[in-house]
């Protein structure tokens, strides 16, 4: 009789386990999904606040630029140690004495470039790849040049991970541009030369725009438009970028 009781007890335990274990497993899956969603929602909230407080409030009005800034996960383009401050209104170090520009400046340069889905864009200074991703949201094709091989590889990996098939990272000297892919409808430069490289002006299409910070200690953002009649230049604001390296010797 005792053996029968033990056997019945074991059967009851197995039955209870079989009834409850799928529910527990599903609860675990639901909890994991909820946790993942809450993290993602947290970043979405930070991006919305970034756009509202840092970008829209300071005069950026192009809806396509605002949507791109709200969509692209800036925290993916910086070291993990900086994730908590990914959406602050500040540049951040990314290694190799380089930085990722503050969100407002990224949005400002993108809006000034007047990019649409039919346009081919060149970026000089890939850095983290964040500006290239924003451009990739708006343009048909983006070619981006980085002089530091390690940064070019890191940026390429992140852009691939996020699915940017229209962004092409090249290792090279930005002063030379990318003549084999010219002309470009827009060129965005994210490091400051002491003077505007002529090669970049030459590689602009007619009605194309070049957005570039220029200067040493005192830098200014310059917006250049190339027309059939020549080149127009407008200096818009004081800025502070890392120096553009690789200037060819004369």
Positions annotated as catalytic residues are 101
Query: Six-digit token pair at 104?
Result: 């407002």
Q: How far apart are CA 80 and CA 154, in angstroms?
A: 13
Contact 111, 65 (CB under 8 A): yes
- Burial letters for 68-86: b for 16+ Cβ neighbours within 10 Å, e otherwise? bbbebbbbbbbeeeeeeeb
Max CA distance (Å), the chain: 106
183 preceded by a cis bond (ω within 30 of 0): yes
Both tokens of 215, joined, read 């200067």
Q: Do strands 204-214 and 219-227 pair parallel, antiparallel, or not at all (unpaired)?
A: antiparallel
């Amino acid at each position: 009789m005792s053996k029968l009781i033990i056997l019945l007890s074991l059967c009851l335990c197995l039955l209870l386990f079989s009834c409850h274990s799928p529910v527990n497993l599903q609860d675990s899956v639901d909890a994991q999904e909820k946790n993942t969603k809450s993290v993602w929602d947290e970043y979405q909230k930070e991006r919305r606040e970034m756009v509202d407080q840092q970008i829209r409030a300071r005069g950026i009005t192009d809806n396509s630029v605002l949507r791109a800034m709200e969509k692209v996960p800036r925290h993916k383009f910086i070291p993990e140690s900086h994730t908590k401050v990914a959406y602050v209104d500040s540049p951040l170090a990314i290694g190799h004495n380089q930085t990722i520009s503050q969100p407002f400046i990224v949005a400002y340069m993108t809006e000034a470039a007047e990019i649409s889905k039919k346009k081919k864009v060149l970026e000089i200074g890939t850095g983290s790849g964040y500006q290239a991703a924003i451009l990739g949201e708006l343009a048909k094709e983006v070619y981006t040049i980085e002089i530091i091989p390690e940064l070019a590889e890191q940026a390429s990996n992140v852009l691939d991970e996020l699915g940017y098939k229209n962004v092409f990272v090249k290792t090279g000297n930005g002063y030379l541009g990318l003549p084999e892919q010219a002309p470009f409808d827009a060129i965005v430069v994210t490091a400051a030369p002491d003077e505007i490289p002529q090669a970049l002006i030459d590689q602009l299409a007619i009605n194309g725009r070049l957005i570039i910070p220029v200067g040493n200690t005192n830098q200014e953002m310059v917006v250049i438009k190339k027309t059939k009649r020549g080149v127009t230049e407008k200096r818009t604001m004081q800025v502070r970028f890392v120096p553009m390296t690789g200037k060819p010797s004369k």
